Structure 1
Amino acid sequence: MTVPTPPPTVTPDPPARTLRAVRPALRVHGFSTVLRISALLIIAVLIAVLLALFALDIATGDFQIPLGRVLDVLTGGGSRAQRFVIMDSRLPRALTAVVVGAALGLAGAITQSILHNPLASPDILGITTGASCGAVAVMVGTGGSATGVAAALGVPAAALAGGLLTAIVIYLLAWGRTTTGDSGVMGFRLVLIGIGVNAALLSVVSWQLTRATLSDAAHAQLWLTGSLDRSDWSTLVPAAIGLALTLAVAAVSARTLAALRFGTDITRVLGVRIQTQQAILLAAAVIAAALATAAAGPLGFVGLAAPQIARRLLRTPGEPIIASTLVGAIAVVGADLISRTIFPIDVPVGVITAGIGGPFLLYLLVRTNRKATL
C-alpha cells in the first residue's frame, strides 16, 4: 500500500514594503525640492531673532524710545524728535549693520563651499584687506572728509577695485596642478597664499597711514577697526546693491554651488565647468565683501564664523546660503547693540566681532587639526 505524499508547504511571500519618503517633497511644474521642516523652522527663528535685535538696536541709545513707539515711527507716526532720531540717525545705522553682516556671511558661505575649507573667508583670504587698501587710499587722499559724489562713489569704488584686484592676484598665484593632474585652483593652496597676501596688504595699509596727516590717519584708523558711527544712506546703498547682486548670483547658481561641494570627479561628471563657475561665484563673493567693507570697515571673523554656525544649526553637509546670510546679519546687529549698551563708551563694532571671532577661529583650527590626525 502506497502512502500518499503530503503536498509541499508553500511559504507565502512577505508583504511588499511600501516605500515612504523620508522628507516631504514640493513640486511646482518642472521644479521640485525636498522640504526640510526643521531647517525651515530654524530659518524662521533666525529671522525672528534678527527682527527683534533690529528693533532693539533702533530703540536703544542716549534717547531711549519704547519698541511700540519705534514701530509707530516706522509706519509714519511719532513726534518730530522721534522721527529725526529714528529715521535720520538710527535706522541707517541699523540697516547698514544688517546689510554688512548679511553680505559678509553670504560671501563667507560661498567661498567656504566652493573651496572646501572652513578657513576660506574674505577676511582670512585678504579680500577685505585689499578693499581696505583702496578705501584708505581715498580717505587719506581726500582728507577723510569727502562729500557728495566722492563720498558716495569714491570709497565704495576704491574698495571694490582693491578687493577685486586682490582676488585676481590670489587666484593667479594659486593656479597650478591639482591632485588629479588637471590645471586649476586648490582650496588649501589658495588659503595659504591668501594669508600671505593679507599680511603684505596690512603692511601697505600701515604705510598709507604713516604718510597721512594726523586727522586723516585718525579717521582712517577708526574706520579700520570696523565702525558704524558714520553710517548713512550714501554708505548703505552700495553695500545693499552688492548684497542683492551676490544673492541673485547665488540663487541662479544654487545647483552649481551644491555640485561644487562634492569632489572634482563627481562635479565634472555632473557637467559643471568647475573653473568657470568657481570664478563667477568668487567674483560675486568678492563684490559683496568689498562693498560691505566700504560701508563699515573690515569687520573681522563675521564671514568666517557665520557659515560655520549656520552649518551646525541646520546640520547640513555644506554651508547653507540663506542661514549664513541671516547669522551674519544677526552677528553684526548684535555686536552693534552690545557696543552701545554694555560698555560705558561706544566701542567700534569690529572690536566686538574680533573679540568673539578670535576664539572661534582657534576652535576651528583645533578641530581641523584633530580631523587631520585621526
Structure 2
Amino acid sequence: MKAIRTRGGVSVRLDVRTAVVVVTLVLAALVASVVLIGTGDFDIPTADVIRTLLGNGDPGQEFIINDLRLPRVVVGLLVGASLGLAGALFQSISRNPLGSPDVLGIGQGSTAGALLMIVVFSGSANQVAGAALVGGLVTGAAMYLLSWRGGVHGYRLVLVGIGMNALAVAINGYLMTKADFVDAARAVVWMTGSLNGRDWDQVWPLLTLCAVLLPAVVMHARPLRMLEMGDDTAYSLGAPVERTRVVLMGAAVLLTAAATAAAGPVSFVALTAPQLARRLTRSPGPNLVPAMCMGATLLIVADWASQRAFGADQLPVGVVTGVLGGVYLLWLLVTERRAGRI
C-alpha cells in the first residue's frame, strides 16, 4: 500500500497489488474481446480484427466486425462488469459471500417481468427488456422493505432474498405453463441468457446507466468499507449507514436488472466475480473495480468458450456460466462450512 499526496494536500492510498490485478484483468478482457470478435462462422485473423477496429479494414470485414460482432462483445463487457459490480455491492452490504443477485432473487425477478411481457402481452424485444428492468426493481424494493426492522441486517437480507427468489421461480414456472408453444419457445431462449443477436440498441442504454451509476457508487465506497465492519462501528465513525445502504442497493439492483434486460439472466457471474477478485487482490475491502474487471473478463471468456469448446454446437453463454458458477458455489459452501461460518 502506497500513499500518494497531491498538490492540494489530499492523499490517496494506492494498493499496488490491486492496481496490478486491475491492469492484468483489463488487458485480459481486451485480448479476449479481440479473439472473440475474430471468432465465428467466418473466422477473421487477429491482425485483421485490430486493423479493422482502427479503421483500416476492407468493407466486408468492417460490416462483420463493426455491425455484427463488436456490439455483441461490448454488451458482454458491460453485462459482465455490471454483474461483477452488483455482486460486490450485495456481498459487501450483506457481509455474506452468498449475498449475490443470483441468490437474492433479483435475476429471477427480472425474468418474471420479462416472462409476463412475453406470455401475457406478447411484447416486442424492447418491451421485454423494459419489463425485465421493472421486474428487477420491484423485486429489489420488496426485498429491502421486507428485510427492514430498525435497519437491514445482512443475514436477514439474504434470507428474505432467498424467499423472494423461490417466489419468483414459482411465478416463472406458472407463466411458462400458461404460455403457448411459440411464446414458451421464445421465453426459454431468453431465460437461458445469451449474447446472440445483440446490437448497438442494447449497448447505449446499458452504457449510459453504468456511466451514471458508477460515480455514485465510487462516492459511497468509503462508507461501504465502514459498513463492512458492522452498523454500530460505521455509525461511530460517522458513516451515513442507511443512506449508503439504500443508494448502493438501488445501484446494485439497477445494474443487475439492466444487465438481465440486455442479455437475459446470465447466472453466477455476480456470485463468482467479486470472490475471485478478492482472492487475487488479497484485499479485505469491497474490491469494486477489480470485481467489475473480473466480471467483464469472465463473461467474455465464457462466451468464447460457448462458441469454441463444444465443437459445432454453440451454447448460450448462460449455460457455460451456470456450469462454472454451480461448481464454484458448491466449493464455496464447503469452504464456508469448514471455516465454521455456515
Shift of the 155–238 alpha-carbon distance from structure 1 to 2, 3 Å rule, reads farther
1:134 to 113, 124, 139: 113
SS in 2 for 1:78: coil
Asked if the contact 1:164–1:287 (Cα under 8 Å) also holds between the matched residues in 2, the reply is yes
1:52 to 31, 52, 58: 31
How far, CA to CA, are the matches of 2:262 and 2:281 in structure 1? Answer: 30
1:75 to 54, 76, 80: 54
1:313 maps to 280
1:201-251: per-residue Cα shift (whole Å, max 9, x none)? 111112222222212211111110111112111122222223223312111
Once the two structures are TM-superposed, the CA of residue 25 in structure 1 deviates from its matched residue by 1.1
1:25 maps to 3
1:17 maps to none
1:253 maps to 220
How far, CA to CA, are the matches of 2:341 and 2:295 in structure 1? Answer: 31
Instruction: Name the amino acid aligned to 1:219.
Output: R
Shift of the 326–164 alpha-carbon distance from structure 1 to 2, 3 Å rule, reads same
Asked if the contact 1:245–1:284 (Cα under 8 Å) also holds between the matched residues in 2, the reply is no
1:104 maps to 83
Q: How does 1:264-343 map to 2 (within 5 A)?
A: 264-343=231-310
Once the two structures are TM-superposed, the CA of residue 31 in structure 1 deviates from its matched residue by 2.5
Asked if the contact 1:310–1:319 (Cα under 8 Å) also holds between the matched residues in 2, the reply is no
How far, CA to CA, are the matches of 2:98 and 2:331 in structure 1? Answer: 11
* More displaced 10-residue stretch of structure 1: 345-354 or 23-32: 23-32
Q: How many residues align?
A: 340
1:34 to 2, 7, 13: 13
User: Is 1:229 equivalent to 2:207 in the alignment?
Assistant: no
Asked if the contact 2:225–2:286 (Cα under 8 Å) also holds between the matched residues in 1, the reply is no
How far, CA to CA, are the matches of 2:235 and 2:341 in structure 1? Answer: 29
Q: How does 1:57-68 map to 2 (within 5 A)?
A: 57-68=36-47
User: Is 1:120 equivalent to 2:87 in the alignment?
Assistant: no
User: Is 1:350 equivalent to 2:329 in the alignment?
Assistant: no
2:135 maps to 162
Asked if the contact 2:91–2:100 (Cα under 8 Å) also holds between the matched residues in 1, the reply is yes
1:18 maps to none
Asked if the contact 2:82–2:256 (Cα under 8 Å) also holds between the matched residues in 1, the reply is yes
Q: How does 1:173-212 map to 2 (within 5 A)?
A: 173-176=146-149, 183-212=150-179
SS in 1 for 2:217: helix
TM-score (norm 2): 0.95
Asked if the contact 1:156–1:238 (Cα under 8 Å) also holds between the matched residues in 2, the reply is no
How far, CA to CA, are the matches of 2:211 and 2:217 in structure 1? Answer: 10
How far, CA to CA, are the matches of 1:24 and 1:191 in structure 2? Answer: 36
Task: List alignment gaps of at least 5 residues for structure 2.
Answer: none
TM-score (norm 1): 0.87
Which has the greater radius of gyration?
Answer: 1
Asked if the contact 2:137–2:253 (Cα under 8 Å) also holds between the matched residues in 1, the reply is yes
1:60-112: per-residue Cα shift (whole Å, max 9, x none)? 11101111111111122212211111111111111111000000000000111
1:244-299: per-residue Cα shift (whole Å, max 9, x none)? 23312111112112211112221001111212210110000000000000011111
How far, CA to CA, are the matches of 1:287 and 1:24 in structure 2? Answer: 34
Task: List alignment gaps of at least 5 residues for structure 1.
Answer: 1-22, 177-182
SS in 1 for 2:98: coil
SS in 2 for 1:372: coil
Once the two structures are TM-superposed, the CA of residue 30 in structure 1 deviates from its matched residue by 4.1
How far, CA to CA, are the matches of 2:341 and 2:299 in structure 1? Answer: 35
Shift of the 221–166 alpha-carbon distance from structure 1 to 2, 3 Å rule, reads same
1:152-196: per-residue Cα shift (whole Å, max 9, x none)? 4x23322221111111111121122xxxxxx11111111111111
1:281-328: per-residue Cα shift (whole Å, max 9, x none)? 000000000000001111111000000000000001133000000000
Asked if the contact 1:227–1:350 (Cα under 8 Å) also holds between the matched residues in 2, the reply is yes
1:367 maps to 335
* More displaced 10-residue stretch of structure 1: 266-275 or 24-33: 24-33
Once the two structures are TM-superposed, the CA of residue 141 in structure 1 deviates from its matched residue by 4.3
- The percentage of counterpart residues that share the same residue type is 43
Shift of the 173–131 alpha-carbon distance from structure 1 to 2, 3 Å rule, reads same
How far, CA to CA, are the matches of 1:63 and 1:40 in structure 2? Answer: 37
